[in-house]
Amino acid sequence: MRDVAIVGVGLMKWGELWEKSIRDLCVEAALSCFEDAGNDKIDSIVVGTMASGLLTGQEHMANMVPDYLGKKHVPAMRVESACCSGSQAVRTAFMEVASGMSDCVLALGVEKMTDVSGNDATYALATASDQEFEAFHGVTFPGLYAMMARKHMEQYGTTREQLAEVSSKNHRNGSLNPHAQYPFPMTREQVMNSTLVADPLRLMDCSPITDGAAAVLLVPATDAKKYKKHGMVVISGVGHATDTIALCQRKDMLKMEAVTLAAKAALKMAGKTIKDVNFAEVHDCFTIAEIMIMEALGIVKPGQGGPATLKGLTALEGKFPVNPSGGLKSKGHPVGATGVAQICEAVYQLRGEAGKRQVKNAKVGLTQNMGGTGGTSVVHILEAK
């Protein structure tokens, strides 16, 4: 198996992009990626999107993307794994390059979420849950994560202030990110005083509805030397695992086993432990999710995610920065694009190109993306070479 490097990344300003179609988002991110790499000759395309048909009416994304990108004869495929679709696109592209099947693959994630009503967007997102045991009975993702948050509070003593600090910290980081949907600071008090959504979660504990795309270009590490615009970044580890789709069927709703297993596999492949990692981009779809993911990854022990966040462990200047990009909370969450954008941020950090949000001495980064309540999770380990 060949070592794989990322030689180009492409992002765009995320938000409520009324004037842009889903094809516009794809093309803008891809062209930005090509410009970053200094190359637009590709062998293959992998597109990650969760619900383009429900949200825009556009299926057959594997045909539309190469067509409107001016690459109509290039083979392409679409992958879907709910909010983990973007990471699955990168993982698939990685395997294609590592296997020797292709020498240059574009992995692209996209979602256009604001062309439908709030109710229709909620319906589309609910398709990532168990339809018979959860969605049919009216349980939404805010409700599911609220149950996880309430149990975490009762079992470990996690506080409302600790949850709020996750959001506040990520907004501080996002205020330094030119691509973020909500690039402004947010105090803990503002988070705790925002509208109640599902007790104990409030509006500012929840990631937003977002339009956006992101892209990365993968090549064999031996070929990366040809791309002299940036320092080399390699994907040294990849892990993927699943759990029950329904939260009620897990032995313990506070254990994200898919996250733990995916991380163990990725770290083993990279020959690393979590202590070797300098920063992480994780799937903070809700504030409680970041806290539980920290515990599942082994950054802190179970029950210590809240106190560690409040003490500054995960702040940009802390010992283990989490979500320097601003995370899903501030940067935004166009569900199919999130996993690819996490990779982009890791590359910026490892190149030393993250500007005011740059993590000091960033040599090894981890990205963790998941679908549903953690039913699917993909972890990537990236290293500066």
List the strands of the sheet with 4-11, edge to edge: 76-79, 44-48, 105-111, 212-220, 4-11, 233-242, 376-384, 364-371, 279-281
* Token pair 């802190």: residue: 300
Contact 196, 142 (CB under 8 A): no
Signed CA dihedral, 73, 77, 83, 87: sign only: negative
DSSP state of 83: B
Residues 308 and 294: beta-carbon distance below 8 Å: yes
Active site residues: 83, 333
DSSP element (H, E) containing 342: helix 338-351
- How far is residue 76's CA from residue 7's CA, in Å, rounded to a whole number? 20
Show Cβ contacts of residue 335 under 8 Å, excluding neighbours closer than 6 positions.
50, 51, 82, 83, 85, 111, 113, 125
Distances (CA, A) of 171 to 220, 223, 273: 36, 38, 28
Which two three-digit tokens encode residue 37? Answer: 């790499």
Report d(CA 211, CA 110) in Å as an integer. 8
Residue type present at position 117? S
* CA–CA gap between residue 74 and residue 344 (Å, rounded): 23
Per the structure block, which two tokens stand in for 314? 């995960």
Q: How far apart are CA 282 and CA 296, in angstroms?
A: 11
Phi, psi of 167 (to 5 degrees): -65, -45
